[in-house]
Structure 1
């Protein structure tokens, strides 16, 4: 202890002169800070003399301006012909005619002169922009005219005889066919527009334009308008002031400043030097104080903790990292309401799947759920979250890459490239899912309820090992409390437990996941959706009830049985599934019991009560509604 005290006192004289210097410069520092806070050194740029002004929240890439001079996602660039260009992720480049900073509107057109083609592939999932009507379609005070969204149907026709009002689209035509755009009313679109016999409907798009747009659809300079909501600088523009980040730090709130005069004054030079000196003094002071307070042993301990903690957490990536990992979003694996999934590469040996989340979808709760839940767990049957991106409005999740994709592809697809998995593999997959769910319910510090167990969310690696994914709807609860509170139902129709809809069946708990697993297991056995909306009679299409009736009457299911032993596996998976889909949570087994049932012999299992009987729970087939085995098992109380 004495040695430590001596080292501390020997370094103190080094700190005192620095602190004295900082205190002596304090008046100059405060004056400089005030001057900097009221100056904006981000210059207004143009691609050409008469081109639109480029200023905050936009930033011109070629000027190499600091990131604080613009808002993430609102970068512009100049073409070789000195045109102003806007790059939208997934949608390509647009040329900018004008920017109205007060109304927060941007007028753009297609460089190739085919604006309708750009509308067909327009995607705002990773962009702060959204499409808006032209200024002519606005009333006073920025209020949009009512009913400004119109439906345009694109037709590919072999004949020029058209019924109704249509406009030929020259830039989309191919040899032997003409392409037409037809404007339809809301009623026509809702009732289902029927094209002429010689035409085939290609696509329906909704656009905030009027008939004027359709009549000028072949104009190569036809404009479309984009608007942005954040940051909202219209207040500053109305006051005749410049909008910028508050305290010149990107990511903080914005402020309105007076428009600076051209040129650099001596006062600005003094301000810059003073602020630089301030930062230098603060850095030196912190460095000396830090080294005088911490011993080498303390530093080593802290570094070890940070390294260990970093290894346990998923890594945070910037959006530039995401683009590099995916090779500029080169290979798309799939798309859904959440956004798009792309194949990526961390190195030559490590492949990843990158889910780019839809910017306009939700308020970020699912993103927070996914990172906070799956980021803290490691299990062979739970997909690994490698990293994430939260770069301004851009959000992405980076997972380990699983080459066989989802279980849904194998159990529902009739494609010859996705053959039916044999029964031993299906049993292995089912056991893996059950073990992963058992870990979520019992193996973590807090119980994790998934609430969206279904074939689409079960991924398969190269050896067909199953991994649970998509924790966007998950909830955490203490292990000593099995009941969770919910304000609204969550999950996917067909897999949601009855108590999630109505508390008459019991309280929502981890048993709700058990129900979803049972419905998934039945779909694995049947190789089809449990409820087929294409069938006319419900009694013919509800597979769970059909299979229960067959088994309870001692009949064989005859479901894709190929080899000896297949029938036993199919029967075992079915009985376990029927136990899991009991209407009342208290009658369902916990996941550790489910694992025992799946790993045991089929002969030891007994038929559960009829889950499709009335809610009085009268059933003559049930040997013991609380005992899935002939031998005794501990009953899990709710």
Structure 2
């Protein structure tokens, strides 16, 4: 169990340490936004470099792509790690069409504010000269308008209401009395978890505290003076600890392998010795002893499991007379009735299958045991 614990420590802690060192900021293309924690650039950064739900990928022409579970793909214009805001735009440059199916559930992102917008379908002749239509939703015969003013909607008797829905907004707008064409501008979303804004503002770098939880910590960034003195000291302590514990763990793994290998060899040698002893020792002179015992009779003989003291019942010493190995804690012994001599269970079982007498005193057990 100790060996398995060492392996678990190696495979869980060290990858995290190596991953933290291998998580530099990245970007898609020369003009793309910098990508760092909590975001993770799939295929180019280790999975521990990002928080769940913050996966990004690189698209064609160096674009940065965010895929929302129920809303599809958006291109990333900008990421502000201090204010924890991400600015998105539609790959097809028709954000109003995407807003008609707005759904950010299943993602860590949210909007600062929501405004109720009513979308109207109006004749083109009505809107061409008087209002600004949403071009990507309009055609030659009808135009699509959007407004948050219900009083303005009530005046558009020749238009048909398409839908009214809550649209994410960066700030609240009061008393809008016109039709909006700004819905095709960028979409700005925020996130609360993980909370790394203060860390970024101080020049630090966010990351996971360990590999077994989602607990996030702030670490000083090399080359900056904004990290706290305690964080720098903690890094030095971590490097020193790693340089000491890594060789010790490697040695422990080697010792564990050695113990496991020698233990198996010992068990194999013990069985071989029992087989050789059974074949080479002189058989008893009594005709009844020339025959081996059946399994039910052998199993009827007393078994003893040695405790920490390794005390063997009766006058037996601490060495098995068959394989000549010393008894160890938790090993199973079997004792011959009448004479009371004890042996390793696997050694004496092999002997009794060939010979019906004790290999030490050559006495056969009483008929009560032999026939039981």
Q: Please report the TM-score for the alignment, with normalisation by the length of structure 1.
A: 0.32
Give deviations 1:192-246, integer Å, cap 9, x for gaps: x547333221111223254699644375xx2110111111111211221000000
Instruction: Give distance in 2, aligned partners of 1:250 and 1:213.
Output: 53
Q: What secondary structure, in the 3-state scheme, does the structure 2 residue paired with 1:94 have?
A: strand
Q: What secondary structure, in the 3-state scheme, does the structure 2 residue paired with 1:161 have?
A: helix
The yes-or-no answer on 1:128 pairing with 2:108 is yes
The yes-or-no answer on 1:97 pairing with 2:77 is yes
The yes-or-no answer on 1:202 pairing with 2:162 is yes
Q: What secondary structure, in the 3-state scheme, does the structure 2 residue paired with 1:151 have?
A: strand
Query: How much has 1:87 moved relative to structure 2?
Result: 0.9
Task: Answer yes or no: is the 8 Å Cα contact 1:150–1:184 preserved in 2.
Answer: no
Query: How much has 1:151 moved relative to structure 2?
Result: 1.7
Choose the corresponding residue for 1:55, options 36, 39, 42.
36
Instruction: Give distance in 1, aligned partners of 2:179 and 2:21.
Output: 44
Unaligned runs of 5+ in 1: 1-14, 23-28, 133-147, 263-267, 293-638
Give deviations 1:246-285, integer Å, cap 9, x for gaps: 03x26331111111359xxxxx999988776566556667
The yes-or-no answer on 1:85 pairing with 2:65 is yes
Give deviations 1:513-555, integer Å, cap 9, x for gaps: xxxxxxxxxxxxxxxxxxxxxxxxxxxxxxxxxxxxxxxxxxx
Query: How much has 1:42 moved relative to structure 2?
Result: 1.0
Unaligned runs of 5+ in 2: 225-237, 264-372
Matching residue of 1:110? 90
Q: What secondary structure, in the 3-state scheme, does the structure 1 residue paired with 2:107 have?
A: coil
Choose the corresponding residue for 2:56, options 47, 53, 76.
76
Q: Which has the higher contact order (CA 8 A, sep 6+)?
A: 2
The yes-or-no answer on 1:181 pairing with 2:146 is yes
Instruction: Give distance in 2, aligned partners of 1:102 and 1:157.
Output: 43
Matching residue of 1:227? 190
Q: Kindly tell me: are residues 270 and 50 of structure 1, through their superposed partners in 2, closer, same or farther at Cα, counting changes over 3 Å? A: farther
Give deviations 1:274-314, integer Å, cap 9, x for gaps: 7765665566677888998xxxxxxxxxxxxxxxxxxxxxx
Instruction: Give distance in 2, aligned partners of 1:78 and 1:258.
Output: 28
Q: What secondary structure, in the 3-state scheme, does the structure 1 residue paired with 2:111 have?
A: strand
Aligned residues: 235
Matching residue of 1:11? none
Between structure 1 and structure 2, the one with the greater Rg is 2
Task: Answer yes or no: is the 8 Å Cα contact 2:119–2:145 preserved in 1.
Answer: yes
Instruction: Give distance in 2, aligned partners of 1:70 and 1:122.
Output: 25
Task: Answer yes or no: is the 8 Å Cα contact 2:48–2:208 preserved in 1.
Answer: yes
Instruction: Give distance in 2, aligned partners of 1:87 and 1:212.
Output: 35
Hey, which bits of structure 1, 4+ residues long, moved more than 4 A?
36-39, 211-216, 268-292
Task: Answer yes or no: is the 8 Å Cα contact 1:62–1:78 preserved in 2.
Answer: no
Task: Answer yes or no: is the 8 Å Cα contact 2:30–2:62 preserved in 1.
Answer: no
1:328-477 correspondence to structure 2 within 5 Å: none
Q: Kindly tell me: are residues 252 and 178 of structure 1, through their superposed partners in 2, closer, same or farther at Cα, counting changes over 3 Å? A: closer
- Structure 1 vs Structure 2 CA RMSD: 4.3
